[in-house]
Copies of this chain bind each other. A is one copy, B any other.
Amino acid sequence: MAKTWREWEKPVLELEDVIQKLKQALPTASPEQAAQIEHEIERAERARENYLRIKYSRLGAWERTLISRAEGRPYTLDYIRAIVSDWVELHGDRRFGDDKAIIGGLGKIGETSCVIVGHQKGRDLKERKLRNFGMAKPEGYRKAIRLFDMADRFQLPVVAFIDTPAADPGVESESRGISEAIAAGMMKMFSLRVPAVAVVIGEGGSGGAIGIGAANRVLMLEHSIYSVIPPEGCAAILWRNADAGPQAAAALKLTAQDALELGLIDEIIPEAFGGAHRGPAETAQNVEQAITRHINGLASMSGEQLKLDRRTKYRNMGVFAVHGGSESLPFSTAPAQSS
């Protein structure tokens, strides 16, 4: 099975390559050649569309994992550029440093000024290193916390974009308390008296994701994933084989569709045909509409109601039963079982 998005999409990518080359050849072609080339383009584009339709209509958990990590996929700053006006990026945790793997700032979505934070991956090798591959360190979460605090004090809604393989697992991060930073991020979000909307735009990687994800409304892009552990890591532990990623991905139920079914997220935002990377503008528009709709929906709630709404939402997550009993389980979605 494919191990990367590029490998999995290889046939389409090749077709797209062919189409591009044909189009490049067009201007210098003779009229006869041109007709032929146009015909070929048309055929290739039809093939591409059919291929994409089929490929994207029966995506498994593993395929979605690959797409969620696709290099060409829009990242947080791409969405900010597309849908945010008057953007002012704010830096630093006022304690130790400025983490480039979590960005934050002030900006307007529609007519509403918001505090916006998000994981940021890098596009090229240099930026990827700068962004630490989207793996945030403690100071990233602490910057987010500082901005959440500002949002709360100044009554600005919070919007969080989630896109991280995991929090940074290095010695430095352990030394400065990555665990505490993630935990404090969640706790801070639970204290907010303003609307908070989180959107998983790519990889929702375990603690690294939930550290800025404890929102009133959690939305996921159609081909994003959200998981307690990367499937490869799960495979390495349970199957003693990192190549069992596809198996683990299926077992973990990490797709947006699974998460919605399990009642853990609120909505799936559709992506452009063939994935967000094939239609970033269209996808960004869908994201903007969804965020605006949810922020407006939450606007009627008081600060206390918003806080209670968030607490209750997560309070109700969990599936358990009572041994031999039939206690009513308002917080459980599964039937009582006897062990």
Chain A: residues with CB nearer than 8 A to chain B? Answer: 94-96, 138, 142, 176-177, 180
Among B95, B142, B180, the residue within 8 A (CB) of A176 is: B95
Which residues on the B side are within 8 Å of A142 (C-beta)? 95
Bound CA–CA A180/B96 (angstroms): 11
Bound CA–CA A96/B139 (angstroms): 10
Which residues on the B side are within 8 Å of A177 (C-beta)? 94-96
Which residues on the B side are within 8 Å of A96 (C-beta)? 95-96, 176-177
Bound CA–CA A96/B172 (angstroms): 10
Question: Can you list 12 residue pairs at the A/B interface with Cβ under 8 Å?
Answer: A94-B177, A94-B180, A95-B95, A95-B96, A95-B138, A95-B142, A95-B176, A95-B177, A95-B180, A96-B96, A96-B176, A96-B177
Apart from A95-B142, A96-B177: 10 A-B pairs, beta carbons within 8 A: A94-B177, A94-B180, A95-B95, A95-B96, A95-B138, A95-B176, A95-B177, A95-B180, A96-B96, A96-B176
- The smallest C-beta distance from A174 to any residue of chain B, in angstroms, reads 12
Of A95, A177, A180, the most chain B CB neighbours within 10 A belong to A95
Q: Which residue of B lies closest to A95 (CB)?
A: B95
Bound CA–CA A176/B96 (angstroms): 5
- The smallest C-beta distance from A58 to any residue of chain B, in angstroms, reads 48
Q: Which residue of B lies closest to A176 (CB)?
A: B96
- The smallest C-beta distance from A94 to any residue of chain B, in angstroms, reads 5
5 pairs of A and B residues whose beta carbons are closest in the complex: A94-B180, A95-B95, A96-B176, A94-B177, A95-B177
Of A96, A138, A142, the most chain B CB neighbours within 10 A belong to A96
- The smallest C-beta distance from A326 to any residue of chain B, in angstroms, reads 40
Q: Which residue of B lies closest to A175 (CB)?
A: B96
Bound CA–CA A95/B94 (angstroms): 11
Which residues on the B side are within 8 Å of A176 (C-beta)? 95-96
- The smallest C-beta distance from A171 to any residue of chain B, in angstroms, reads 14
- The smallest C-beta distance from A287 to any residue of chain B, in angstroms, reads 34
Bound CA–CA A138/B94 (angstroms): 11
- The smallest C-beta distance from A89 to any residue of chain B, in angstroms, reads 20
Q: Which residue of B lies closest to A138 (CB)?
A: B95
Q: Which residue of B lies closest to A142 (CB)?
A: B95
- The smallest C-beta distance from A124 to any residue of chain B, in angstroms, reads 29
Bound CA–CA A157/B142 (angstroms): 28
Bound CA–CA A36/B111 (angstroms): 97
